[in-house]
Amino acid sequence: MDFLIQNVWAQDAAASVGGNFASLLPLIILFVVFYFLLIRPQTKRAKEHQKMVESLAKGDEVVTSGGLLGKITQIGDNFVVLELAEHLEVKVQRYQITAVMPKGTLKNTL
């Protein structure tokens, strides 16, 4: 029966320890590359967005994630009231604001 099943021999303990680390090295390198290319920039972007949302003030002209451009008229803890046009106000979640535009942007649009 030896011709169907090969015999398995135990390896030396020192040889198996070095072999285990060498097999984990590509996985460690892959994680480091993912950290620097994906995870770190995303956390930096999230911190910048958090800072921008916290610094919103009444009168700022902002763009929402849905593409609405308006002026902040009221600020609450979780919501912001935007004036899109004269006598047209919309309540939007604070974290849906993606960018603060320079003053006068609303006057320069269509």
Written as tens digits, the pLDDT of the chain (110 aa) is 566 777 777 666 555 555 677 888 889 999 999 999 999 999 999 999 999 999 999 999 999 999 999 999 999 999 999 999 999 999 999 999 999 999 888 887 75
What predicted TM-score, i.e. pTM, was given to this entire model? 0.70
CA dihedral 93, 94, 98, 104 (to 10 degrees): 110
How many domains, in total, are found in the chain?
2
73 lies in which domain range? 57-108
- The per-residue pLDDT for 109 is 72
- The per-residue pLDDT for 20 is 78
Answer yes or no: do 48 and 73 share one domain: no
Q: What are the tokens at 82?
A: 């935007």
- The per-residue pLDDT for 22 is 80
Answer yes or no: do 72 and 39 share one domain: no
Q: Which CA distances in Å does 89 have to 64, 73, 92, 99? A: 14, 9, 10, 18
Answer yes or no: do 75 and 42 share one domain: no
